[in-house]
Structure 1
């Protein structure tokens, strides 16, 4: 009951805010109206800590506003600036250009997008890659890919960085949980949708991945961050 009351209060406040903001701006000449819409869209994206969706942006512009054209015009104005507007995780976000990464790292000790996430070990990166390509996938299926047990600790490490989440239960015996990637994963790696993942043929052509070896459990893990070749992430918990 309390949750329903809170949602009604939030919806009422939103409708009130919408009435206070003139989104259509019909009193303005077309050019000034467009400039105002551009400013609103860029301000909302600039202030957000995560990618902003089309639905969110539609709250601050009129019904006749084409958000895609607004985004294009903002991008044109940002040419030559040290940051750009990118499509990630089903929305838009400001990102610093890679050419300024060294300057940002020298000044702040962080990467160009603010840091906050530690680098993935080789084992974590390989498991995350498999989840991205084969999701929804169980821990047992991941272990079969590598021919080694993928530990709960490794899965927990990926979850703690919000790169993966629990997916639907598998129809296999015991109905184990599956794992899927998150919007944070797409945002962190600059993907708008999962269709932006490189296809296997491109990775194979570049010599970075062999699907046959992966499915046969024949991908060498190597040594990364002190991890042994026979260990895919800490204690082996069944």
Structure 2
């Protein structure tokens, strides 16, 4: 069998398969009674890779085998073939996945220690349903916590062949703005304990409560003038009020002006009568 036929068979098999094909699977396409020369399948793969360079597809090797995939520069146009919206994951989900990928195998408790918050069970469940992570064992400590690690499906999705092809953490910019300064230390020093982690929901609620607390001083300040007015009213001195004596009636008869006028008129009439008699 000549090399050109081997190349055509390999190309057709990769295009017809819905999953990546390993080198063993590709070699198994050729019957034993018609063996192909050693290295012919590998040569066919190399030839196909070179031929795809100027095209819209490329031949790559991922964790599960070899596959054709769309070139990154034309992906935005090809993606319009699918009307369904791309799934967006929360920051908590992406950080949890990153920790499992870079620190595997890792327990859920260790993830919580690094992130400082409780890992929601729905996050682990979603990653397991997506077949991106799986349980690979149990830590030999009290409680036997599960050890989590990534899968071949995870590597295939991100176009990786091995875990050592993961980019450095400092280059991760599109994974929910994951902070590079996350403490990915191997272990917590002996004698030190972390504060009890809080859940992602509790952290969000705490932020909301803090915002409400910050708004309280402004309300108190707005009501302060009324309180000051009440204080001034209570502190008004008693002598500022009008004295009660000024409103009380007087009983001094000597100061009655009508009484003095009446006495003077009586004396004048008496003097006039005496003069007439004389």
Alpha-carbon displacement from aligned partner over 1:165-220 (angstroms, at most 9, x marks no partner): 1111111212121111011100111111111012346669xx95125378889xxx
Match of 1:89 in 2: 63
- CA shift, 1:57, in A, is 1.2
* Aligned partner of 2:180 among 209, 228, 233: 209
CA distance in 1, matches of 2:53, 2:152: 27
Identify if the C-alpha distance between structure 1 residues 119 and 44 changes in structure 2 by more than 3 Å, giving closer, same or farther. farther
Match of 2:208 in 1: none
Q: Does structure 2 conserve the Cα–Cα contact (< 8 Å) formed by 1:90 and 1:193?
A: no
Match of 2:238 in 1: none
Mapped pair 1:170 → 2:139:
yes
* Aligned partner of 2:109 among 140, 148, 153: 140
Structure with greater proportional helix content: 2
Q: Does structure 1 conserve the Cα–Cα contact (< 8 Å) formed by 2:114 and 2:183?
A: no
Q: CA RMSD in A?
A: 2.8
Mapped pair 1:70 → 2:44:
yes
Identify if the C-alpha distance between structure 1 residues 118 and 201 changes in structure 2 by more than 3 Å, giving closer, same or farther. closer
Q: Does structure 2 conserve the Cα–Cα contact (< 8 Å) formed by 1:200 and 1:211?
A: no
Unaligned runs of 5+ in 1: 1-24, 26-32, 218-226, 232-238
Deviating above 6 A after TM superposition, structure 1's stretches of 4 or more consecutive aligned residues are: 213-217
Q: How many pairs are equivalent?
A: 184
TM-score, normalising length from structure 1? 0.68
Query: Any idea what SS the aligned residue of 1:230 has?
Result: helix
- CA shift, 1:50, in A, is 2.2
* Aligned partner of 1:120 among 86, 89, 109: 89
CA distance in 2, matches of 1:119, 1:174: 34
Q: Does structure 1 conserve the Cα–Cα contact (< 8 Å) formed by 2:111 and 2:119?
A: yes
Match of 1:59 in 2: 28
Match of 2:119 in 1: 150
* Aligned partner of 2:54 among 80, 88, 94: 80
Q: Does structure 1 conserve the Cα–Cα contact (< 8 Å) formed by 2:57 and 2:69?
A: yes
Match of 1:100 in 2: 74
1:29-44 mapped onto 2 (5 Å cutoff)? 33-44=2-13
CA distance in 2, matches of 1:211, 1:148: 13
Match of 1:49 in 2: 18
- CA shift, 1:127, in A, is 0.6
Identify if the C-alpha distance between structure 1 residues 47 and 135 changes in structure 2 by more than 3 Å, giving closer, same or farther. same
Q: Does structure 2 conserve the Cα–Cα contact (< 8 Å) formed by 1:166 and 1:179?
A: yes
Q: Which moved more, 1:117-126 or 1:80-89?
A: 117-126
Identify if the C-alpha distance between structure 1 residues 200 and 105 changes in structure 2 by more than 3 Å, giving closer, same or farther. closer
Identify if the C-alpha distance between structure 1 residues 201 and 154 changes in structure 2 by more than 3 Å, giving closer, same or farther. closer
Larger Rg: 2
CA distance in 2, matches of 1:230, 1:189: 30
CA distance in 1, matches of 2:140, 2:118: 21
Identify if the C-alpha distance between structure 1 residues 119 and 48 changes in structure 2 by more than 3 Å, giving closer, same or farther. farther
Query: Any idea what SS the aligned residue of 2:10 has?
Result: helix
Unaligned runs of 5+ in 2: 31-35, 189-193, 195-199, 205-278
